[in-house]
Homo-oligomer: A and B are copies of this chain.
Amino acid sequence: MSLASDRTKPGAANKPTLYKRIRLDIETRILTGEWPPGHRIPFEHQLMARYRCSRMTVNKALSELAQADLIERRRRAGTFVRRPQHISAVLTIADIRAEITALGRSYSYQLIDCRRRTATSADRARLGVTTAGKVIAIACRHSGDGVPFAVEDRLIDLATVPDAATADFAREPPGSWLLHHVPWTEAEHTISAVVADDRLAKALDIAVGAPCLVIDRYTWRSARTVTAVRLHYPGETHRLVARFKGG
């Protein structure tokens, strides 16, 4: 409390700007529990008085907190601390090469299979398209220090990404190529677990029956499917880490 305004002296070493200090003050009170969920935050005109600033400055602080879902603003009623609505986390699924090099290992990549074909009914179901256009089907493997890290099965819709026809996926992994050539607007990840069958066990160099983490990713570009990819990771060694998101 009461670290209010010293900003009237403009020459001071005012590192953080005023609206950021207001935002941090409120955020701190919420996160420490001093202002619990449902609590009504002081009105804008009260904060104006407390911090001796204009309404726009207070409003900027509150707008950012609202955008971050920490507070909820209702006309005429006021501004309220939101209750922890759902536990969500930002799961960063990095480019696999980046993931491996971040672990300090040397990255290598093997193309197992790459073929261009007219979409089979299975392909169409996987990509969520109805017409039988051309697709590229790729199987490849990513390794760190020579140890298999993940195997990838990918389908690329050539109707959405015609340039992919000319890409050299023996040289560049398809995920990396797509990341640099195709902007995407939406993605969905599904995470599940399986046990390794013969083929998977051989590709990952693990025992048959060992657990594997599976990530299915579908990527769209404004309602058009770009690619569908399934990644298999050895489940006992690999971990997906998702951090943060207070609420």
Contact = CB atoms under 8 A, between A and B. Distances in A.
Given A88-B91, A179-B87, A193 B211 contact: yes
A240 B70 CA distance: 25
Given A37-B183, A191-B240, A209-B209, 12 more contacts: A84-B179, A84-B184, A89-B91, A90-B90, A91-B189, A188-B241, A189-B243, A191-B241, A195-B210, A211-B211, A211-B212, A213-B213
A241 B218 CA distance: 11
Interface string A18-49: 00000000000011110011000000000000
Interface in A62-102: 64, 67, 84, 86-95, 98
Contacts of A191: 191, 213, 239-242
Given A31-B222, A64-B67, A187-B89, A192 B94 contact: no
A192 B240 contact: yes
A105 to B, nearest CB: 18
A198 interface: no
Contacts of A184: 84, 246
Contacts of A235: 192-194, 211
A194 to B, nearest CB: 5
Contact of A187 (B56, B87, B222, B238): B87
Contacts of A188: 89, 241-244
Interface string A195-234: 1000000000000011111100100011000000000010
Contacts of A32: 183, 222
23 contacts: A31-B183, A33-B221, A56-B56, A67-B67, A86-B94, A87-B92, A87-B95, A87-B187, A88-B91, A88-B92, A90-B90, A184-B246, A188-B241, A188-B243, A189-B241, A189-B242, A192-B236, A192-B238, A193-B213, A193-B214, A193-B236, A194-B236, A211-B235
Q: Which of A32, A84, A189, A212 has the most CB of B within 10 A?
A: A189
Contact of A239 (B187, B192, B244): B192
A202 to B, nearest CB: 18
A189 B187 CA distance: 20
A195 B195 contact: yes
A195 B213 contact: no
